[in-house]
Amino acid sequence: MAGEAGNLFGRPTPRVDGVAKVTGAARYASDEPLANPAFAYLVTSAIARGRVGAFRLDRANAVPGVLDVLTCGNVGGLAKPPPGGDGGPTTTTLESDRIWHAGQIIAVIVAETYEAAREAANNVEIEYVEEPPSATFDSRGADVQPHKARGPDPQKGNAAAAFADAPVTVEGRYQTPTQHHNPIELFTTTCVWDGPKLTIYEPSQFMWGLKVLVAKQLGLDPANVRTISRYVGGGFGSKGEATSRTAWIAIAAKRLGRPVKLVATRSQGFTIASYRAETRHHVRLGATKDGRLTSLSHEGWEVTSRPSGYNVAGVDTTARMYACANIFTAVNLVHADRNTPGFMRAPAETPYMFALESAMDELAHALAMDPIELRRVNDTQIDPLTGLAFSSRSMMQCFDQAAARFGWGARGAQPGSMQDGEWLVGYGCAAACYPTNYAPAVARLSVTPDGKATIGLAAHEIGTGAYTTIAITLAHSLGLRLEDVTVYLGDSDLPPVTVAGGSNNAASTTHVTVKACEEVRRRIAQAAVVASDSPFYGSDPATLKLVERRLTGPGAGSESMEKAIGRVGGRIEVYAENVPEGLPPNALAKLYDGEVTFSRGGGRKDVTAYAFGAHCVEVRVHNRTRELRAPRIVSAFASGTIINPLTAHSQYMGGVIWGLSSALHEATEIDAASARYINDNLADYMIPVNADVPSVEIIMVPEQDDKVNPLGIKGIGEIGIVGVNAAVANAVFHATGKRLRELPIRLEELLA
């Protein structure tokens, strides 16, 4: 589709915004200069369940510089709560005195300075009407919503009967903890009114959705709401959904007649946005003596808030991993007094693949079989749930290349069989996978007579390199150089693009870019073939191409870009709308209305579209202290077309490191009695430092996929993290003989 033009696809290209980022010229939402802003500080609930009996605000109002205090009492009726993905609220809001979770926003102070607002917030006196909260699984009062009430999960054949008949079986219960994204850029919102027009500076992974949702909450015409965030300092899903804070800052700015800026604290970020909820799993596998799966059963439990049914239901993926005739899956929800969870990098696959890929390792051990060979025996090119072919699936190529590079062949067959001095050494592996999502998108492209192109779309630079992939695609498709093109993102005055989530961003933005470029090429070619002074006079316009700043045709020579554009009559403006094949006709209308519609990897009618990968991990456990290290990881991925191997490498590597973190470091600790988060700061929330990650090698396995989408792009944002946690746990088993089914795995788990 983009083919011949500039040959920039697949060439390692430094970020086009790199200099702006390292020099501080890149403006994040709260960096936007404003005249005379006032500052907001959030007052959040100290209790997890109950209601606000009364506010006493005298001491807060007496703090010099305080301008306004907003509570459910004085502004509660002015905004509807933002809806969450499942229809329930993502976070609860000021509209009533009901408290759903600890850290819920219950009042907002506005003052001349940040410090005054903070001081006043600390002087708000609140009488709570307290009810005993339920923190998590097994807490008294937690409300289990069984899968039958939730709706159907994937099934096939009779998994229970096949399990009973299987010559070899394994069964395990697994658990993953609460985690918080902690993007370095905090959750900020700045609102500025100009008559009926509202501008919101807020980091978001869905500029257009935020604009429409806030308009709906406040009863405004969406045309009067503009959202701006040209760069996002990390999102990982936490900035994918609208939260309650935005409407309240908008109301504060309106009441005051002045811009109001909120920068929430790190610890408030744990409760005013989303997180990865804790999960539990029960996996049962049955197999023949040569390792062929005959029964796969995966039941999950996920914690969510009281009012929301948010869940990630990763069985949709685990049920598709291996050839198997009998599959049972179920996902149950557990409602507790918690903020509503949400997307966090590979939301579904990170916890659910931990369970499945750990169980596969247990099966390999029960069969006395190499775990990579077990995957090979059960590999399939056919989606076991639907019978559709995978658009492409290079999982075993990934295992083979990772294993070769890693030196998997040196692995001792028995757990505890490898030792290096005082260190027990273990090798573990696991598969990675992620569905290919692809969404409608719109872009505005203009090409000027000097042969420069500018594209604008309300897409997102969340650190992934989106400015660069779009610039590459644009230059490539118009036969221009990178320096000839300019990309504008992160502003809802630009045409709509869906949420930067589900790893759809690259596919969605590049396809619409190519579509816009194709229209430019068509107009240029059309003008050239009807101009009698043109070398292409009378040619078929479809045969003309833009290459290296020239218009060329077969056997007809070429002419400069400037001349070719001049013939069209000056500036060329294109408004392109791209809708993935197979989506319903209203997909574009939904996008303009702020709704997300994807062509989903597992929901297509033609093929099943997933990217695959494989990890090999070495761990070392000290034989006396049980100190646990992961000195080496080799991971291989096949995700179709790679637009920019340089940024792709970083994406994969960042994902793998996060996977290591999810195995050995990360967990948000919850106090069972108060249902509050304990380690809600970067000092206590454990993440790996450089010394924890000595070596991560990334192999990009070439893969051409002409079925997944025209450009063959599968997306790479999330697959890197998937399965690393299982590979680490499997390596720990191989080192020590101890099977740990609950994350994170820390030294104390290895002592007994």
Among 345, 365, 620, 665, binds ligand MOS (CB under 6 A): 345
Closest distance to ligand MOS from the beta carbon of 602 (Å):
15
Per CB under 6 A, 206 contacts ligand MOS? no
Window 159-178: contact mask with ligand MOS (x via CB under 6 A): --------------------
Q: What are phi and psi of 415, to 5 degrees?
A: -60, 140
Per CB under 6 A, 205 contacts ligand MOS? yes
Scanning 196-204, 229-237, 543-551, 636-644 for contacts with ligand MOS by CB under 6 A, the matching segment is 229-237
Among 85, 133, 240, 640, binds ligand MOS (CB under 6 A): 240
700 has which bridge partners? Answer: 637
Of the pair 322, 652, the CB lying nearest ligand MOS is at: 652
3-class DSSP state of 199: strand
DSSP assignment of 39-94: EEEEEE-SSSSEEEEEEE-HHHHTSTTEEEEEEHHHHGGG-PPPB-TTSSBSS--T
51 has which bridge partners? Answer: 98, 129
- Which of 224, 185, 182 has its CA nearest to residue 203? 185
Of the pair 347, 440, the CB lying nearest ligand MOS is at: 347
Per CB under 6 A, 203 contacts ligand MOS? no
Closest distance to ligand MOS from the beta carbon of 73 (Å):
36
Contact by Cβ (8 Å): 71, 107? yes
Contact by Cβ (8 Å): 323, 381? no
- Report the alpha-carbon distance of residue 460 to residue 717 in Å, rounded: 13
Scanning 236-244, 399-407, 609-617, 639-647 for contacts with ligand MOS by CB under 6 A, the matching segment is 236-244
Closest distance to ligand MOS from the beta carbon of 526 (Å):
40
Per CB under 6 A, 501 contacts ligand MOS? yes
Residue with the shortest CB distance to ligand MOS:
237
Instruction: For residue 539, give Cα distances in angstroms to 534, 545, 563.
Output: 10, 12, 17
Helices 395-406 and 371-378, interaxial angle, to 10°? 160
Scanning 343-351, 374-382, 417-425, 679-687 for contacts with ligand MOS by CB under 6 A, the matching segment is 343-351
Of the pair 89, 237, the CB lying nearest ligand MOS is at: 237
Window 274-313: contact mask with ligand MOS (x via CB under 6 A): ----------------------------------------
Closest distance to ligand MOS from the beta carbon of 344 (Å):
5
- Report the alpha-carbon distance of residue 501 to residue 484 in Å, rounded: 29
DSSP code for 606 = S
Alpha helix locations (H) across 390-431? Answer: 395-406
> Quick check: is 112 catalytic?
no
Instruction: Enumerate helices (H) and strands (E) in the chain, giving the number of each.
Output: 19, 30
Per CB under 6 A, 343 contacts ligand MOS? yes
Instruction: For residue 137, give Cα distances in angstroms to 178, 301, 340, 674.
Output: 11, 9, 15, 14
> Which H/E stretch holds residue 671?
strand 670-671
Per CB under 6 A, 463 contacts ligand MOS? no
Instruction: For residue 626, give Cα distances in angstroms to 412, 623, 696, 726.
Output: 20, 6, 23, 19
- Report the alpha-carbon distance of residue 465 to residue 444 in Å, rounded: 20
Closest distance to ligand MOS from the beta carbon of 306 (Å):
23
- Which of 330, 334, 350 has its CA nearest to residue 284? 330
Closest distance to ligand MOS from the beta carbon of 654 (Å):
13
Per CB under 6 A, 659 contacts ligand MOS? no
- Report the alpha-carbon distance of residue 670 to residue 664 in Å, rounded: 18
- Report the alpha-carbon distance of residue 732 to residue 743 in Å, rounded: 12
Scanning 86-94, 296-304, 342-350, 595-603 for contacts with ligand MOS by CB under 6 A, the matching segment is 342-350
Site for ligand MOS (CB under 6 A): how many residues? 11
Closest distance to ligand MOS from the beta carbon of 178 (Å):
15
DSSP code for 27 = P
Scanning 110-118, 230-238, 582-590, 602-610 for contacts with ligand MOS by CB under 6 A, the matching segment is 230-238
In the block, which residue shows the tokens 């929800």?
333
Per CB under 6 A, 233 contacts ligand MOS? no
Cis peptide before 14 (omega within 30 of 0): no
Among 208, 236, 637, 677, binds ligand MOS (CB under 6 A): 236
- Which of 602, 722, 584, 749 has its CA nearest to residue 664? 749
Among 177, 300, 347, 655, binds ligand MOS (CB under 6 A): 347
Closest distance to ligand MOS from the beta carbon of 236 (Å):
6
Of the pair 375, 460, the CB lying nearest ligand MOS is at: 460
Closest distance to ligand MOS from the beta carbon of 666 (Å):
15
Query: Active site residue: 278, 299, 559, 718, which one?
Result: 718
Among 183, 237, 291, 602, binds ligand MOS (CB under 6 A): 237
Closest distance to ligand MOS from the beta carbon of 240 (Å):
5
Site for ligand MOS in 518-537 (CB under 6 A): none
How far, rounded to the nearest angstrom, does the alpha carbon of residue 215 sit from its chain's CA centroid? 25
Residues acting as catalytic residues: 718
* Residues forming the site for ligand MOS (CB under 6 A): 205, 235-237, 240, 343-345, 347, 501-502
